[in-house]
Each structure stands twice: as structure tokens, then as C-alpha cells.
A and B are shown apart, each in its own frame.
Chain A
């Protein structure tokens, strides 16, 4: 089992906002990154650090941190946002990279 926990599935109505969370004790010490993966494609980095978007990622994506939880919020979800979302950070030792189990986002 992963040291980072994500809800397996989340749904959102088109145009509404949705928050995807990632929990783990190591997140109190280490920042996380977020990836979007569409079927048959490689993951794409959409957020890193506390709230930094790579070039080309829409500003409807934002990140936040509180205690042992990091969150990815999509404000005004689009059909194109339907995908799997994974977080990653360090494990509790700080020596190894870990991924969360992933959240399947459905846009209704």
C-alpha cells in the first residue's frame, strides 16, 4: 500500500469546481507534485511545489497544502479534465519517491 492516500474516484459536474486530495504523514515535511494521465497516454505534470503550474497548464488548476494533506483544485472543470490524477512526494524516511494510488476524475 502507498504511503500517500487518494480517493479512488471523484466526480464533478461540468463547469463546477472539484478538489482532489492526497494524504500522508510525509506531506508535513515534503511538498508534492500532481500528474494528469489520460487513457493510453503518459502522465503529465500539472502542479508542483505548494502551488506552481508548469508552463501550458491552465490557471483553473491550483494547489494547496494543509497539515498532512495536499489538494489539487480544478475551478470550472472541463470535459478535457476527465482523467486519472496522481500525487507524488517522498516517503516518511525522505529517501524515496512515492506515488499516491490515483484518483479517477469523471466530469459529468
Chain B
């Protein structure tokens, strides 16, 4: 059964780098049918797409975060990662990793991790 699990620090200092990893089990991250993405949700607010990648390395980023974000892949560990530099309090959010499937003409995030809370303070 497919599972995604986020991991990383729950607290990051302002101006430092937020680093999170998503471990995928149940399917190879090299499967060309899927993309692998990050979405975040600030407290009490809606969902914000951060970006996603497609093996072996095509990446797509939110225009508002592009200058600060990197998403990368580690096929040996079946993981993908998020790095967000120069964080501020506005980056405080629950961060989700998810599988993205281009299904029936739409972008469908069909499997999600449980989410990890990251506070910038």
C-alpha cells in the first residue's frame, strides 16, 4: 500500500533553511506515471502548492516561491526533499508531501502524507 511520510525539524529560525524529506513506500519514486509534490497550509488558511518534480529530475515551482525553493529526489532511498531558504514567519505551516497524478486531464494529488508542522521562530 502506498504511503508517504514527511520528516524534518519542527522549528526553524528566521533566515535559516527549512529542510524536509518525504519517504515513499509502496511504489518506486522512479515510476514515470507520477509526479511528487509539496503543498503547505498556514495555520487556519488554505492549501498552497509549493512545487513538484518528475523523475529523473524535471522540477516545477510556484512563482511566488521559486527563488527560495528546491525539490530534489533520492532514488536510492525512495525519497524526495524540500529545501526552502531564508525563511520568515510567513513560512510557518503544515507541510504535506503528495503524489501527483495527471488523471483525466486534471492534476490530482491522490496520496498525501500526514503532514508535518513547521514553525519559524
State the A residues within 8 Å of B (CB).
Answer: 2, 30-33, 35, 42-45, 48-50, 52, 54, 86, 88-90, 95-102
Contact = CB atoms under 8 A, between A and B. Distances in A.
Nearest to B103: A48
B49 A98 contact: yes
Interface residues of B, number: 24
B62 A35 contact: no
Interface in B75-121: 96, 100, 103-110, 112-115
B47 interface: yes
Contacts of B49: 88, 96-99
Contacts, number: 74
A89 B37 CA distance: 14
State the main secondary structure of chain B at its contact with A. strand
A31 B102 CA distance: 10
A30 B106 contact: yes
A11 to B, nearest CB: 19
A52 B104 contact: yes
Contacts of B115: 42
A2 B63 CA distance: 13
B46 interface: yes
Contacts of A31: 104-106
5 contacts: A42-B113, A43-B112, A96-B63, A97-B49, A99-B39
B106 A86 contact: no
Contacts of B104: 31, 48-50, 52
A42 B39 CA distance: 11
A84 B62 CA distance: 23
Nearest to A55: B110
Contacts of B48: 99
Contacts of B96: 42-43
A23 B37 CA distance: 24
B112 A42 contact: yes
Nearest to B96: A42
